[in-house]
Amino acid sequence: MSAVDPHHRPGAEELLDVTDPVGAVSLIDQADHHLAPGVAPASVQDTVHRAAATPHQAQPYRELGLKDDEYARIKEILGRRPTDAELAMYSVMWSEHCSYKSSKVHLRYFGETTTEAMQATMLAGIGENAGVVDIGDGWAVTFKVESHNHPSFVEPYQGAATGVGGIVRDILAMGARPVAVMDQLRFGPADAPDSQRVVPGVVAGVGGYGNSLGLPNIGGEVVFDASYAGNPLVNAACIGVLRSADLHTAHASGTGNKVVLYGSRTGLDGIGGVSVLASDTFSGSESASGSTARRKLPSVQVGDPFAEKVLIECTLEAFAAGLVVGIQDLGGAGLSCATSELASAGDGGMHVTLDAVPTRAEGMTAAEILSSESQERMCAVVIPDKVDDFLAVCARWEVEAAVIGEVTDTGRLVITHHGETVLDVPPRTVAHEGPVYERPLARPDSQDALIADTTASLARPQTGELRELILRMIASPNLCSRGWVTDQYDRYVRGNTVLAQPADAGIIRVPSSSAASGAAVVEGVDAKDDATTVRGIAMATDCNARYTMLDPYAGAQLALAEAYRNVVSTGGVPTAVTNCLNFGNPEDPAVMWQFSQAVRGLADGCALLGIPVTGGNVSLYNQTAGVNILPTPVVGVLGVFDDVTRRILPGIGHEDGETLLLLGETRDELDGSEWANVVHGHLGGVPPRVDLDAERKLGEILIAGSRDGMISAAHDLSEGGLVQAAVEMCLAGETGARLVLPADTGLDAFTQLFSESTGRVLVAVPRTEELRFTEMCSARQQPWVKIGIVDAGNPAGPHLEIQDVATFGLGELREAWEGTLPALFG
């Protein structure tokens, strides 16, 4: 919902009196929710006929977010003014959120840089509800990240909860069983007063919905930065699994096929902006009686995860029984989006009767029914012979369903309400041929000063100060344990989770019962094959927005590199990429420059690594009081395992005396680092160098090492550098270690410990495998250095000793690392 002003918090105080209707008496009547059941609203509504007869009636198109020229174009397409329902549909479908009008010209670059080799495993790509990749043995995986930023600021719990619900339905619409979720969260400063409202609300919402739904949350991100203070980012990811043969795409084909709306009833929630159709057209006086007053409708929705759970089972059973031709989830823009996209992608015609839509409120107008964002609804296209079977499946799951229309060959989307035509449009003009903007973009003049302001001028600590610094850094909000967040999520439900937070990537087995085919789809009926399945998938998502601010092209590639490295650090083979591009105001040329650079960086990076971008999401207008967020292109990498029992753990402690090797090169790269942020509040300079060839080589070594059992633990180095990785490996494995920093690097201890050079992974190798592993590295020109040993036998208890720097008991480290978020948020 990109266009929502983040400062607009629809509160109870916003009561709009509906008064003195001019030419809109009927709207008031229909707006009256006190009508007794069965009492039909007055018959006059804004029909196509009426629109043609009243060409000059003023319409609140600006309040609905349409520009003058966009409104003019709608009139040109229709040859008359739009009806209220048409205006509601066009305005929401032509919004930034739905039409990608600012980003489209740049997103094309993803397609242009995707080679045939990269497409080989791609079954469905950009433009579908979610991308689908073949992972072998007839299995396919679909995955996607989507933003729910603005709703989560307005109402943190429900905003985050319905964000999870929305992405799960996207995955479901591909015919896949959703098997895991992840969340990428960004908040204002951890100690800011509003964070006390937003952070616990969002985290509880993610957990409350996902846990109730019975989906494991296997990872994600939590980042704090002042730029997100009035505009938190709540991105939600979902992974689904299906048999390749069962892939379904959203389209409405076959004249005469029926359109079925099923799931929860359609209510007045989430209508938000469309309220102006019923309010702003009425001007000012206080003459209307209180009983007909139309309140400004809330733009938030409350989700019902239990309704979503039966919707999943019901949908998968209908898929398995071959009852559906096409399917579409209802998310942003509700029925407007579902009907126009289904019709546009199919044979091009559809007739829908809104009277058939089961509603929760009396007397909803056509525009309200079409715009409602009530949760937990889906739309299916079913051949006439199968309608009874489809409805029977819905009934079995106690899911309400109604035939609301049928596919036609007219090339028009026609919608009737109370027997009158309220909408008659060419569907492609709504869904796929919306406005496209070549917005001006310009590298801001301030960028040079930002890059010139490096960390060279910042005071660096003496070796004697490092002990205190290490404790301070691991306790800082962006480096401390995410346990307070992830412990509120169910990570192991369904029993297929191999690794979850705090591992680098989440891993789940691909369970046989996830097949959307045959009887196996019914839970519990066919779980016997599960024990033998070792195929699995890994997913990691990352973005360092500070780097992206310094260099958006490199920053996007750094996000890709880190997610890639996280996947290979567990032994997974990177296979596909998705993204969620969160940026500021696209009308600011500097933001469009950041956006275009990030897209190019990510696409070029994927081409170098040879893995395709299968889909993504764009969220613009993320700003607070005119200040844009740090550019935040979240990148997700999907990895595949032939055998998840070969996964590499993040914690050391497999056996005493194992060798710790640092793979990759360490340079003096502290610009944009977490150290500069925590100690100096500084952001400037040049981000760490990107070397995707080195990342790929590192990946090949880790994957080979995992397959051959040469690596017993691995953890990638990113924010916080070497010392952060070492602390986390010790704490995850509850085992001590001794580190000896190499003396011949020309870098002091501080730089070696805190530099954020990329392409580095800390690994533990059994002594019996050390020679074989290091020879493999040397043979492949992979830089490596022996940096310490696993020390499980310290009589004084487990310690992390960094020779000539400091020694810590693990208890002391744990207290610092784990104490921060509970102290802030209880």
Partner 1 sequence: MARVAVDVVIKPEILDPQGKAILAALARTGHAGVSSVRQGKHFDLEVDDSVTDADLEEIAGGLLANPVIETWTITRLDGTADGAPHAGAPADAEPEAAL
Which residue ranges make up the site for partner 1 (CB under 8 A)?
Answer: 9-13, 15, 33-34, 37, 154-155, 158, 264, 267-269, 271, 290-291, 293, 295, 297-298, 300-304, 306-307, 360-361, 374-375
Helix (H) or strand (E) holding 777: helix 767-779
Name, in order, each residue with C-beta under 8 angstroms of 365's C-beta and a sequence gap of 6 or more.
27, 30, 31, 45, 84, 85, 277, 278
Question: DSSP letter at 266?
Answer: B
CB of 267 to partner 1, least distance (A): 6
Between residues 30 and 344, which has the closer beta carbon with respect to partner 1?
30
Residue burial 722-731, b: 16+ Cβ < 10 Å; e: rest: bbbbbbbbbb
Residue burial 338-349, b: 16+ Cβ < 10 Å; e: rest: bbbbbbbbbbbb
* Residue 30 and residue 363 in contact, taking contact as beta carbons nearer than 8 Å: yes
445 backbone φψ class: left, alpha, beta (φ>0; ψ -120 to 50):
alpha
Q: How far apart are CA 114 and CA 117, in angstroms?
A: 8
Q: How far apart are CA 581 and CA 34, in angstroms?
A: 43
Between residues 11 and 23, which has the closer beta carbon with respect to partner 1?
11
Return the closest-CA partner of residue 591 out of 556, 630, 544.
630
CB of 29 to partner 1, least distance (A): 15
3-state secondary structure 100-152: CCCCHHHHHHHHHCCCHHHHCCEEECECECCEEEEEECCEEEEEEEEECHHHH
The DSSP bridge pattern shows strands 350-353 and 413-417 to be parallel
Grouping H, G, I as helix, E, B as strand and the rest as coil, residue 34 is: coil
CB of 205 to partner 1, least distance (A): 12
Between residues 266 and 541, which has the closer beta carbon with respect to partner 1?
266
Q: How far apart are CA 679 and CA 663, in angstroms?
A: 27
CB of 271 to partner 1, least distance (A): 8
Classify residue 560 by burial, with Cβ atoms within 10 Å: 0-12, 13-18, 19+: buried
CB of 522 to partner 1, least distance (A): 22
Between residues 306 and 525, which has the closer beta carbon with respect to partner 1?
306
Between residues 374 and 513, which has the closer beta carbon with respect to partner 1?
374
Alpha-carbon separation of residue 234 from 2, 78, 170, 205 (angstroms)? 13, 38, 17, 11
Between residues 73 and 295, which has the closer beta carbon with respect to partner 1?
295
CB of 67 to partner 1, least distance (A): 29
The DSSP bridge pattern shows strands 401-407 and 326-329 to be unpaired
CB of 297 to partner 1, least distance (A): 6
Between residues 154 and 765, which has the closer beta carbon with respect to partner 1?
154
**Residue ranges of the alpha helices (H) in 179-261?**
195-213
* 233-243 β-sheet, strand order: 122-124, 131-136, 139-147, 233-243, 177-187, 217-224
Between residues 168 and 607, which has the closer beta carbon with respect to partner 1?
168
Grouping H, G, I as helix, E, B as strand and the rest as coil, residue 617 is: strand
DSSP string covering 508-533? EE--GGG--SGGGGSTTTT-TTGGG-
Q: Which amino acid is at 103?
A: S
CB of 209 to partner 1, least distance (A): 11
Return the closest-CA partner of residue 16 out of 268, 298, 367, 266.
298
CB of 587 to partner 1, least distance (A): 28
What does the radius of gyration of the chain's CA atoms come to, in whole angstroms?
28
Residue burial 444-476, b: 16+ Cβ < 10 Å; e: rest: eeebeebeebbbeebeebeeeebeebbbebbbb
CB of 353 to partner 1, least distance (A): 23
CB of 53 to partner 1, least distance (A): 32
CA angle 369, 375, 379 (to 5 degrees): 70
Between residues 12 and 459, which has the closer beta carbon with respect to partner 1?
12
Alpha-carbon separation of residue 262 from 22, 172, 814 (angstroms)? 37, 14, 49
CB of 220 to partner 1, least distance (A): 25
Name, in order, each residue with C-beta under 8 angstroms of 194's C-beta and a sequence gap of 6 or more.
188, 229, 230
Return the closest-CA partner of residue 368 out of 630, 129, 587, 87.
87
| Catalytic center residues | 97, 148
* Token reading at 745: 């690097």
Q: How far apart are CA 476 and CA 23, in angstroms?
A: 60
* Token reading at 705: 């090492």
Q: Which amino acid is at 406?
A: E
Between residues 92 and 602, which has the closer beta carbon with respect to partner 1?
92
Q: How far apart are CA 325 and CA 348, in angstroms?
A: 15
Name, in order, each residue with C-beta under 8 angstroms of 738's C-beta and a sequence gap of 6 or more.
788, 789, 791, 801, 803
* Residue 85 and residue 425 in contact, taking contact as beta carbons nearer than 8 Å: no
CB of 362 to partner 1, least distance (A): 10
